[in-house]
């Protein structure tokens, strides 16, 4: 018998668990994945019951439908029977993914059936056959409508259908009681946008097509009436994507020890969500509610939810050594552009807003570093270099015939959005303070998926922007490296070694693919940025993929591994060492895997999808990573669609 525990309880149990379960593919993780998946379905059905249950009989229809969902849930749970008794094999994970996809269709069918039963209840049992046919549409519905012109019975059935569906549509267009008098002063910017769209829907101004006819605020939803199984299935996905964004996002701090000269040395990783938690971590006077105002106290937007016009899945990733010194810091996020938005103007406007929020985070990081308040920053202005490393594949093949956006034009959207803020004395508004920023932005992209690594997809398209970005980065780095007045000769020498490797990996469009670590160049740009900032405050960095969790998680792991190797060895691993030195490659693996498994990246995948694991392909088996360790990193990610 399955445990249909509350969705939030399931998430809180898995997300905030202090202990680390070393197996991401065991029966417990699989059960959790199923519970979260079905939890969305139960909650959607409950929302439909609340929305349409304006009489007891209709409410009972949706309540009874939950028993059918329970059967789907139980079938999924019973299918979990690993051959070895505990851990799922690759085939069993593949089968689970198929079962989940099948259940998505079954869920839509159950909701469709409930809608039709509600129409019959409201329209009259005597018209059951006609009302069912009219709901489903197609030839039979056209037949009934045609004969309604001459048949009083058919005409009465059509009128009954109109009245029933009108009542249900009106119910969906009624503003929920809980939201009618809500105080907008208590809402984040994301919530205000959701409330505005809720009002547009309930006022009949918009069908919120972007959200597949599903709009919610604070866990309360309105769902456009649909009888099409295909459209209902899209609504189920939209609801799940929006609903998973309700999950609490709090700071995650994890300490893992590594060997240095025969001793165990601890390193502490912190993943801080860009919400009120980020505000608190900065301790910058005057910035107490900057990101709380945007995302709320513990809010954020799931990578599955591309409906919001704000930064998706934003976090600050830090690493401290045993002395408590920050040796690594970067912002991580999903691409700022929306692949589901076909309107280029809307997509670009939303991308600019998301990019602006990312840059606000970078500015606040800098102000915190130098102990400057927002008021002082407005009066004095600041200088800031910002390096963005994207990991998407901007190829032309997939762009052909794509209905919405694709990685190529989404990358172009993000680059344009970020670069729109670059320049001298550009004003960035933060909490009502107009801060003048002399902002230099270098926008890189290095495709790391199978298409880029195996075939070179997108490498030509990204190379022109990369050359331009590298010119900016090189000039900024050399200004510090060659400035002997700064002192710190060892630190400047490390910058030079990183810059030398980056220069080599930039020699041609495909040069960064030399060896078996396509993440190396981006990770070294991130570490170079950190090194520059440590010598002279004023350089910040960020990295992203489409979702901000998989390829982004890999980049976080590789870059942190390099930072830890620098702390242990006194230098960063060179490209040749990473490519050819067995001992260096072994050390990299021994550091990289615990980072990936234990330093919060897996939690971010689970927060965003309900499944634990990085969704990457075999091309991500860096430095001869053993198959069993790679599979543990992937976990149950293949059971998700985002």
* pLDDT tens for each residue of 324-354: 999 999 999 999 998 878 888 999 999 999 9
> Mean per-residue pLDDT for 90-113?
97
Q: What is the model's pTM?
A: 0.94
- Torsion sign over Cα 145, 148, 154, 156: positive
pLDDT at 42 over 80: yes
The alpha-helical segments, DSSP class H, found in 442-574 are: 450, 459-481, 489-505, 520-535, 551-569
- Across all residues in the chain, what is the average pLDDT? 94
Bridge partners for 440 per DSSP:
385
What's the pLDDT score for residue 406? 87
pLDDT at 22 over 70: no
What distances in angstroms separate CA 451 from CA 405, 442, 549, one per listed residue? 18, 24, 19
- Residues 568 and 236: beta-carbon distance below 8 Å: no
pLDDT at 287 over 60: no
- Residues 495 and 532: beta-carbon distance below 8 Å: yes
Instruction: State pLDDT tens for residues 613-622.
Output: 999 999 999 9
| Length in residues, the chain | 642
Kindly report the number of other CB atoms within 10 A of residue 348's CB atom. 20
pLDDT at 4 over 70: no
Q: Which of 7-16, 303-312, 571-580 is least confident?
A: 7-16
Kindly report the number of other CB atoms within 10 A of residue 92's CB atom. 18
pLDDT at 98 over 50: yes
| DSSP code for 574 | P
The token pair at 384 is 């800031």
The angle subtended at Cα 600 by Cα 73 and Cα 532, nearest 5°, is 150
- Residues 612 and 605: beta-carbon distance below 8 Å: yes
Instruction: State pLDDT tens for residues 144-191.
Output: 999 999 999 999 999 999 999 999 999 999 999 999 999 999 999 999
The token pair at 18 is 């202090």
pLDDT at 288 over 80: no
| DSSP code for 263 | E
- Residues 298 and 16: beta-carbon distance below 8 Å: no
- What does 267-280 look like in DSSP terms, one character per residue? EEEEEEETTHHHHH
Does an H or E element contain 436, and which? strand 433-445
- Residues 244 and 40: beta-carbon distance below 8 Å: yes
Residue 419 and residue 388: Cα distance in Å, rounded? 11
- Residues 243 and 216: beta-carbon distance below 8 Å: yes
What's the pLDDT score for residue 285? 53
Bridge partners for 269 per DSSP:
254, 319
pLDDT at 76 over 60: yes
The angle subtended at Cα 410 by Cα 408 and Cα 416, nearest 5°, is 105
Domain boundaries along the sequence of the chain: 22-245, 247-570
Residue 541 and residue 586: Cα distance in Å, rounded? 28
Residue 399 banded pLDDT, cuts 50, 70, 90 = confident
- Residues 522 and 559: beta-carbon distance below 8 Å: yes
Instruction: State pLDDT tens for residues 536-568.
Output: 999 999 999 999 999 999 999 999 999 999 999
Closest by CA to 354, choosing from 341, 367, 366, is 341
90-123 and 229-244 helices cross at what angle (nearest 10)? Answer: 110
Residue 556 and residue 553: Cα distance in Å, rounded? 5
Cα 542 to chain centroid distance, Å, stands at 15
Query: Where does 192-336 show beta strands of DSSP type E?
Result: 214-217, 220-223, 252-260, 263-273, 315-320, 326-334
Does an H or E element contain 118, and which? helix 90-123
Of 396 and 520, the one with more pLDDT: 520
Q: What percentage of the chain reaches a pLDDT higher than 90?
A: 89
What's the pLDDT score for residue 472? 98
pLDDT at 5 over 60: no
Instruction: State pLDDT tens for residues 219-238.
Output: 999 999 999 999 999 999 99
């Amino acid at each position: 018998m399955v445990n249909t525990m509350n969705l939030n309880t399931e998430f809180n149990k898995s997300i905030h668990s202090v202990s680390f379960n070393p197996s991401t593919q065991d029966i417990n993780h699989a059960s959790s994945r199923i519970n979260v998946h079905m939890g969305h379905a139960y909650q959607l059905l409950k929302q439909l019951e609340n929305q349409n249950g304006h009489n007891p009989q209709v409410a009972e229809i949706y309540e009874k439908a939950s028993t059918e969902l329970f059967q789907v849930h139980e079938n999924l749970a019973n299918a979990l029977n690993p051959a070895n008794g505990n851990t799922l094999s690759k085939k069993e994970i593949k089968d689970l993914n198929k079962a989940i996809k099948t259940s998505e269709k079954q869920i839509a069918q159950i909701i469709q059936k409930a809608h039709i039963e509600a129409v019959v209840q409201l329209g009259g049992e005597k018209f059951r056959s006609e009302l069912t046919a009219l709901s489903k549409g197609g030839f039979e519905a056209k037949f009934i409508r045609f004969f309604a012109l001459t048949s009083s019975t058919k005409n009465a059935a059509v009128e009954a259908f109109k009245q029933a569906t009108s009542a249900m549509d009106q119910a969906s267009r009624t503003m929920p009681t809980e939201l009618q008098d809500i105080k907008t002063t208590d809402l984040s910017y994301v919530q205000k946008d959701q409330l505005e769209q809720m009002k547009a829907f309930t006022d009949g101004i918009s069908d919120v097509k972007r959200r597949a006819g599903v709009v919610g605020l604070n866990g309360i939803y309105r769902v456009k009436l649909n009888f099409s199984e295909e459209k209902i299935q899209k609504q189920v996905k939209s609801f799940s994507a929006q609903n998973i964004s309700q999950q609490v996002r709090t700071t995650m701090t994890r300490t893992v020890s590594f060997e240095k000269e025969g001793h165990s040395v601890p390193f502490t990783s912190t993943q801080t969500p860009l919400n009120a938690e980020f505000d608190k971590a900065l301790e910058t006077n005057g910035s107490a509610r900057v990101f709380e105002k945007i995302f709320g106290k513990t809010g954020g937007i799931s990578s599955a939810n591309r409906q919001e016009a704000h930064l998706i899945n934003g976090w600050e990733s830090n690493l401290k050594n045993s002395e408590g010194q920050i040796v690594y810091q970067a912002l991580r996020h999903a691409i700022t552009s929306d692949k589901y938005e076909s309107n280029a103007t809307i997509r670009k406007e939303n991308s600019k807003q998301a990019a602006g929020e990312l840059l606000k985070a970078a500015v606040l990081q800098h102000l915190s570093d130098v102990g400057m308040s927002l008021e002082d920053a407005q009066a004095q202005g600041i200088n800031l270099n910002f390096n963005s490393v994207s990991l998407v594949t901007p190829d032309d093949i997939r762009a052909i015939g794509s209905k919405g956006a694709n990685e190529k034009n989404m990358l172009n959207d993000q680059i344009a959005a970020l670069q729109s803020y670059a320049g001298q004395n550009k004003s960035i508004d933060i909490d009502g303070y107009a801060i003048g920023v002399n902002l230099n932005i270098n926008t890189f992209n290095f495709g790391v998926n199978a298409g880029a690594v195996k075939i070179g997809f997108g490498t030509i398209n990204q190379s022109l922007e990369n050359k331009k970005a590298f010119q900016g980065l090189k000039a900024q780095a050399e200004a510090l490296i060659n400035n002997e007045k700064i002192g710190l000769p060892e630190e400047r020498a490390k910058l030079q070694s990183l810059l030398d490797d980056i220069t080599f990996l930039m020699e041609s469009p495909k040069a960064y693919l030399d060896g078996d670590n396509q993440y190396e160049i981006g990770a070294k740009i991130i570490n170079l940025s950190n090194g520059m900032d440590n010598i002279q405050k004023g350089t910040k960095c960020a990295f992203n993929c489409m979702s901000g969790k998989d390829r982004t998680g890999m980049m976080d792991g590789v870059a942190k591994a390099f930072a830890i190797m620098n702390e242990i060895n006194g230098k960063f691993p060179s490209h040749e060492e990473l490519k050819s030195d067995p001992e260096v490659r072994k050390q990299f693996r021994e550091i990289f895997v615990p980072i990936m498994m234990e330093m919060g990246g897996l939690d971010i995948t689970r927060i965003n999808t309900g499944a634990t694991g990085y969704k990457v392909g075999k091309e991500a088996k860096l430095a001869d990573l053993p198959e069993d360790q790679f599979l543990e990193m992937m976990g149950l990610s293949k059971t998700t669609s985002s």
